[in-house]
Amino acid sequence: MGASAQSQNVAPFKNGDRVAFVGNSITDGGHYHSYIWLYYMTHFPEMRITCYNIGIGGDVARQIARRFDTDVMVHHPTVLTLSWGMNDTGYFEWFRDDAQQTLQNRLDTSYKYYHQIEAKLLKHPEIKPILIASSPYDEFTYATPNNIYRGKSAALLKVAEFQQQAAQKNNWGFVDFNRPMTEINKREQVKNPAYSLTPNDRIHPDNDGHMVMAYLFLKAQGLANKPVADVELDAASKQILKADNSKISKVTGDVNNITFDYLAKSLPYPLDTVSHGWGNKRRQSEAVKVAPIIQELDREMLTVKNLQSGSYQLSIDGEKIGAWSADQLGRGINLAEQTATPQYQQAMQVMHLNEERWEIERRLRNHAFMEYNVLLERGLLNADNRAAMDTVNVRAKKDIFVAGNKPSYLLSQYKNIREAWQMEQDVLVNQIYKINKPVTRKISLTRIN
């Protein structure tokens, strides 16, 4: 994945960080930020951070600049990621005869408002900005016959190049989603012309695409090849040869039967096998087909050398996990790929609670869409009154996006309900950081033939 070299090194998050992910619908309705947080929840269980989805569907740089103080800065972020470009590069304008001139005008406007955001950030040296080049527009897939805007992908790449230069100028972080994801699309489309990380409309990544985005971000933070744990024992001598990010104790047995206590400092990274999010069809777990996520982010290695030749039953806390040969165990097996282990099941609980948190947060982002795209221009920002509801009712009759968000707004128009949703999220996050602590497990290998 050579194109990922476009990304600069980005400092990993640290304990107490408040990370604001700012963007358009790809952030608003997407999962990449939630998958990134899930990695930190499981890999760094003793380190607590908070991540915020601050995307709004349809936004261009001008709209992000307009809501920056009241929607972004109110969270007092210590780290801020900023992505824009998909909407800035237009859609139906690509059918016009003057498409290139129209594009240049749109880009000039986009850069103008970016510089407004940049000026605000430069006044806050306590915030570490990270510019993110948008996931690509895929005009080449055969997955859908619609939304083909020839030239848009190249235009989005121009924005990515601008963002990279802007980040370098300010010594800010930069993570490129565009070029590495384009590289994956092109590679996979040689085998299957209908393949795409944005298969539904060429614009929005599916769950697997968002996992690729999370992988690229974590890789840019230097977190690749940081093992969940890496354990190596010698069955003959009962010596502990390696215990990276883990603690091994109470080793007993012989070359036919070995038992020990195992405490990892991380949990394996759980990959969801259910599709989430409106319109999505793919699952987070499908990302492993196109990116080395398991190999680089999810290695919980167990190696036991000098076992007697034969097959061995692996049990953890009395639960039978599977059987491997002495040769396989001597080379090492990745426990993170075994979803039945107690530690993976523990991580699954963290994942499900995080997914529930994501669902609630989405309601609040639907409310933000109404506030900034419908009510702000009428002087009704945060009005929470009858006039605001009447305005939404009128707009919903002629705007399908407002109509789609209206059912949620019928609830979110009440401040008490929004506060209750936030309290629900807080309860879920507190529970996550209560149950995500690894515990000592009893591992045994017993020869079965």
CATH of the domain at 198: 3.40.50.1110
Model confidence, pTM: 0.96
Same domain, 143 and 203: yes
Identify the domain containing residue 321 by its residue range.
229-269+281-338+437-447
Total domains in the fold of the chain: 3
Burial class (CB in 10 A: 0-12, 13-18, 19+), 180: buried
Q: Is residue 322 part of a domain?
A: yes
Same domain, 189 and 318: no
Q: What is the pLDDT of residue 5?
A: 44
Q: Is residue 20 part of a domain?
A: yes
Q: What is the pLDDT of residue 4?
A: 42
Same domain, 304 and 384: no
Residue 226 structure tokens:
């940081």
Same domain, 249 and 375: no
Same domain, 238 and 198: no
Q: What is the pLDDT of residue 143?
A: 86
Cite the DSSP H helix spans in 381-414.
386-396, 400-412
Low-confidence spans in the chain with pLDDT less than 50 = 1-5
Same domain, 199 and 258: no
Question: How far apart (Å, rounded) are the C-alpha atoms in residues 276 and 282?
Answer: 8
Instruction: List CB contacts of 441: < 8 A, sequence separation 6 or more.
Output: 261, 262, 263, 316, 317, 342, 343
Q: Is residue 103 part of a domain?
A: yes
Same domain, 233 and 260: yes
Q: Is residue 392 part of a domain?
A: yes
Same domain, 202 and 323: no
Q: Is residue 39 part of a domain?
A: yes
Same domain, 7 and 138: yes
Give the SS3 label for residue 448.
coil
Q: Is residue 196 part of a domain?
A: yes
Q: What is the pLDDT of residue 177?
A: 98
Question: How far apart (Å, rounded) are the C-alpha atoms in residues 130 and 163?
Answer: 10
